A and B are shown apart, each in its own frame.
Chain A
C-alpha cells in the first residue's frame, strides 16, 4: 500500500520541462563521448530537438584523475528551438572529483549533480587538487546531489560476465547512462542493439555493458520508489517531417565538399596537413575514396595549398583545409590562386589564437585574416557556416562560387561547429541544382585571361587540352593574353578587375534576409558563423517577451550581401556579438558606415543565450 503510494507520488513527481541540459563528465578513459553519443541518439528517437557539444582535453593521454584529463559531453534537448548546447547545466554526471571540480561552475543553482562516490577516493581527490571532499564539505550546498557508488554497483551488476576488475569498471559509464535514461524517460533499445553490435566478437563485454546499463536504470526506479530522486519529462518538439540523422560539422563539411564536387562534375582532390581541430575533415574524406575522392596529406600547410592549386590547375576541384596558424602559412599560396585565377576552396576551422593559442577551444578571430590578411590587393570570397548541419550547404556554396568565378573561397567554420552535433533533416542530393564545371576546349580565339563579361571570370583551360597550351604564374600578366606584363596601365586594370570580379559576386548571392524580428526598430543583432544558435535563441526569447529586436545572420562575409547596408539602415542600433575582439563589427563600420557596436567574448567558449539577452537589454536601456 505504502509502496504503491510512493510509486504514485514518484510518477506525479516527474517534473515537466521545456528543455534540459545534461553533461556527462569524467576522465578521458571513462568513455564520456560515447556515453553522450548514446544519450543523444535515444533522445533524437524520443522526438526532442537537440544540440550537443563535446569538450575533450588537448592532451592525448592525460594522467588519470587530473583536471586536465577531464572529458565532457553536453546535450541540450527539448521542444523546438534547441539551437545551442545550452547555457547552464541542469544535470551533471560527475564520474570523479576532477570532473566535478572542472564542471561545477557551469551547473545551474539548484541543479542536480550525480557523483560516483566510488571514484572520490583519497588518491583521486589529491589528483584533482581537492583538499577536502567536495561531496561533504559544503561545496555543493546550492545543488541537489545524488551520491552513489557507481563503481561498486557496476562491479556487482556485471559480476556474472566474468570480466577482470579493470574491464568491469569500464562499464560504469553505461551504469551512469542507464540512470540518465531513467531520469529522462529514454528507451534503451538502440543502445543495447549498438552495444551488441559493437562487441559482437566479445559477447561477454556486450552482456556486461547491457547489465550495467540496466542496473543504472533499475537504480533510478528504486530510488524513485524511495523518493530519493525526482525525474523529469521533457516536452518533445514540433519537428518538420523528414528523415533525420545526427551530424557534426566535420562530417557535414566533408560530405558537402564531396557533394559540391559531384554537383560540379569534378573529381575532388583534398590536400591538407594535420592540425587541430581541422584534421577531422581529412580523416573523413580519406574514407571516401569510393566517391572518387583523392586525399593528400601534404608535408606542410604550404604544400597543402600549393598541391590543391596544382590540382585545380589540372582540372580537379582543389580543396585545402586548416586552422588559424596553418592559414597564416597558406596565405602566400592564396595569393597565387588569386593571381592565377584558379578555383580553390579553403576551409578554416577556427580555434582560439594567436599562435598555438588554445587548439581545442573555439573562437572566431580569423575573419579579418580571411578578408584582408594577404599581401597585395587580393580579394577573395569569404563564407561562414553557422551550424554543424549548415556546413553541408556552405561547402556546396563555396564550391559553386570558386568554380564559377575562378577564385579561391575561404569557408570559415570553427571548433564549436566542427565538434558539435545537431539533428539534420537530410536533403535529397539528387534534387540539388547541379553546376557542371565548363573547361575551355576551343582553341579559336583563346586568350587565357579574356574574361566572361558577366562574371569577369577567365576561362578554365586545363593541361591536356590540345591547342590551348599557355603559361600562367604569379607575375602580373597581360589582361588578355596572360603573357608577363609590367605595363603600368595593365596592372591598374588587372587589379581593378580582380577586385570587381569578387565584388560582382554580390549580385549572385541571395539578398540578406532577417532571420527573426521586425524589419526595423531600435536594434538588430548581426552575427556570423557559430554564434547563430545563441543569438537566434536570445532574440527569440526577447521577442516573445515583447522586446523589439531582430536577428540578421551572415553567410556571406565577402562580398557582403548587396542589400545589407539598406537592411541595417532600418535599425537604430546594430549589435554584433562575436567570439573575437571585434572583427565583423569593423567590417560593417568600414564598408557600410553603420554605427555597429561589438559584444565580444574570447574565453574559448561559445556565447550563452543569457549573455546575449542581457547585452541586448542593457543596451536598449542605455
Chain B
C-alpha cells in the first residue's frame, strides 16, 4: 500500500530532463561525478514527470550538498549532516511533498550519522541519495568515514588507520526498508534505481559511488573501470539469478557449510544456473550478505539490494492527528481552545 505510482504532472506540457535544471550555474570541478548524478536525477524527474512545485531537494553541507541549487524545484541547502532532520520536519508539515535528500559520505555517515539512522528506522518517506566518494572534498581532501584503511590525506599523511563504514550495511543495520546502490557514470542503471527509490513510500536509501576527480580519483576503479566492471559488478534484480561476468558465466551461491556467498564459475565442476541464488529483494539476510561483498574476492552488488515496504512515519503521524481531530469533530469540540483551558477543576469568582 505504500508503493505508489509517481505523482502525476497535471500541467499540459510534458517536462523533459532540461526542464528540471535551475538557472543557476553548476559549480562542481570539471569531471566531477556529481555532474553525472545530476544528469541522472534530471532524467529520473522527467521519467516520473515530477511536479516541480511539489518536489523538494534538501541537503546538508559538502560538494554534494550544492545539488538543490541546480534543480528547478523547491530546495533547501541546510547544515552539515542535518538534511534528514530538516526533511523529516518538511514531511511532518506536509506529507504530500516529494522530498529528496542529497548527502555525501562525511555529511551522512560522520556528522549526520545519527540523523540518517533515525530517518531510516522511522521510515520517513524520503529518497536519500548518498554520494559516496570516500573523501572530504569541500574541505580539501581529508579522509572520510568511508575511506579505505591506509588512505593518505592531509589529515592522515601516513595513511588512515580507521576501518571504513559500509553505507549500505549501515542502512540495513538501521532498519532501512529500501536499500539500493549504483554508480555515478552508469546512466542506464542509476535512473532505474532512482525510479525504484521514488516509487517506494518510505525511507529509500541509495548509495551512489561517485568519483572525486581531484582528491580521490579512481578510487572505485577496481570495480568501475570498463575493463574489470563486468566481472567486478553484479547487477541484482528481484527474481533473477545472481549471475554476472562479461560472458555471464559467473554466479553467486551460498557456500556449503557456511553462511556466506561464494562466486562460482558456471559450467565448471558441474555448476549450473540452477545452483545460483535468485535475488529476493525482500530477504534481509541476503541483502546483508550482498552488502558485505567487495572486490577482489566478490563482485560489488548494484541495484535494489533490499525492499520490504512498511508504513511510512509521516503518514502514520498524520493519520494519528487526523483521527483525533475527526473524533473531536464528531464530539463537537473540534479546536475548542476555551474548552481545553477549562478542562479540569475551575471555579468562578463572582463580582
1/0 per residue, CB under 8 A from A, across B310-321: the answer is 000000011011
Of residues 335 to 351 in B, which have CB atoms within 8 Å of A's CB atoms?
335, 337-338, 340-342, 344-351
A315 vs B96: C-alpha distance when bound (angstroms) = 12
Instruction: Report whether B335 and A44 are in contact in the complex, using a CB–CB cutoff of 8 Å.
Output: no
Quick check: is B90 within 8 A (CB to CB) of the other chain?
yes
Q: How far apart are B336's CB and chain A's nearest CB, in angstroms?
A: 9
- List the A side residues contacting B345 at CB < 8 Å: 41, 44, 190, 245-246
Contact B68 A244 (CB under 8 A): no
Q: Which of A424-438 contact B (CB under 8 A)?
A: 425-430
Are B76 and A299 within 8 A (Cβ)? no
- Which residue of chain A is the closest to B317 with respect to CB atoms? A294
Chain A CB within 8 A of B278 CB: no
Q: Would you call B349 and A307 a contact (CB within 8 A)? A: no
Which residues of A sit under 8 angstroms from B89, Cβ to Cβ? 269, 271, 296, 306-314, 318
Assess whether A472 is in contact with B77, with CB atoms less than 8 Å apart.
yes
Number of interface residues of B (CB under 8 A): 62
Q: Is A357 an interface residue (CB 8 A)?
A: no
Question: A465 near B: Cβ within 8 Å?
Answer: yes
A332 to B80, CA, bound (A): 10
Across the interface, name the chain A residue whose C-beta is closest to B68.
A471
Q: Do B90 and A310 touch (CB < 8 A)?
A: yes
Q: How far is the CB of A394 from chain B (nearest CB, A)?
A: 15
* A window 146-185: CB within 8 A of B: none
Inter-subunit contact A464/B68 (CB<8 Å): no
Assuming A306-B85, A468-B53, A483-B24, is B97 touching A290 (CB within 8 A)? no
Tell me, yes or no, whether A484 is within 8 Å of chain B by CB: yes
Q: Are the C-beta atoms of A463 and B92 separated by less than 8 Å? A: no
Name the CB-closest residue of A to B81.
A302
Asked whether any CB of chain A lies closer than 8 Å to the CB of B74, the reply is yes
How many whole Å from A306's CB to the nearest CB in chain B?
4
> How far in angstroms is the closest Cβ of chain B from A192?
14
Contact A294 B338 (CB under 8 A): no
Task: Kindly identify, within residues 60 to 97 of chain B, every residue whose CB is under 8 Å from any CB belonging to chain A.
Answer: 61, 68-69, 72-79, 82, 84-94, 96-97
* CB neighbours of B86 from chain A (8 A): 306-307, 309-310, 313
Closest B residue to A46 using CB positions: B347
Of B56, B79, B327, B346, which is within 8 A of A463 by CB?
Answer: B56
Residues of the B chain whose Cβ atoms lie less than 8 Å from the Cβ of A615: none
Within the complex, the shortest CB–CB distance from A427 to chain B, in Å, comes to 8
Chain B positions within 8 Å of A372 at CB level: none
Q: Which residues of A contact B338 (CB under 8 A)?
A: 426, 428-430
Give B132-159 as 1s and 0s: 1 = Cβ < 8 Å from A's Cβ atoms. Answer: 0000000000000000000000000000
Within 8 A of A (CB), among B99-127: 114-115, 117-118
Q: Which residues of B have CB within 8 Å of A340?
A: 76
Evaluate contact between B85 and A298: CB separation under 8 angstroms. Answer: yes
In the complex the two chains form, what is the Cα distance from A340 to B82 in whole Å? 15
**Chain B window 21-53, contacts with chain A (Cβ cutoff 8 Å), 1 for yes, 0 for no:** 010100000000000000000000000000011
A259–B339 alpha-carbon span in the complex (Å): 12
With A and B bound together, what is the CA distance between A241 and B351 in angstroms?
5
Asked if B321 contacts A463 (CB within 8 A), the reply is: no
Residues A262 and B349 in contact, CB atoms below 8 Å apart: no
Whether the pair B88, A244 counts as a contact (CB closer than 8 A) is: no
Q: In the bound complex, what is the Cα–Cα distance between A506 and B346 (angstroms)? A: 37
- Residue B283 at the chain A interface, CB threshold 8 Å: no
- In this complex, which of B94, B317, B333 has the most chain A Cβ atoms within 10 angstroms of its Cβ? B94
Across the two chains, which residue of chain A brings its CB closest to B338?
A429
Separation of A332 and B78 alpha carbons in the complex (Å): 11
Q: Which residue of A lies closest to B52 (CB)?
A: A469
Instruction: Report which residue of B97, B320, B345, B351 has the largest number of chain A beta carbons within 10 angstroms of its beta carbon.
Output: B345
**Could you say which of A45, A190, A290, A303 contacts B118, with CB atoms under 8 Å apart?**
A303
7 closest cross-chain pairs (CB), A and B: A310-B89, A473-B77, A307-B89, A289-B324, A471-B75, A314-B93, A306-B85
Taking A190-B345, A292-B325, A306-B86 as known contacts, 16 extra A-B pairs with beta carbons closer than 8 A to each other, sorted by chain A number, are A242-B348, A255-B337, A262-B337, A291-B340, A296-B317, A298-B85, A302-B82, A303-B84, A307-B88, A310-B91, A314-B93, A315-B94, A463-B53, A465-B53, A470-B74, A473-B59
Q: List 28 A-B contacts (CB under 8 A).
A: A245-B346, A288-B340, A290-B327, A291-B325, A291-B328, A294-B321, A303-B115, A304-B85, A306-B78, A308-B89, A309-B86, A309-B89, A310-B91, A310-B93, A312-B89, A313-B89, A315-B94, A318-B93, A332-B79, A426-B342, A428-B338, A463-B53, A463-B54, A468-B53, A471-B75, A471-B77, A474-B77, A484-B24
B-to-A contact residues, CB < 8 Å: 22, 24, 52-56, 58-59, 61, 68-69, 72-79, 82, 84-94, 96-97, 114-115, 117-118, 317-318, 320-321, 324-325, 327-328, 333-335, 337-338, 340-342, 344-351
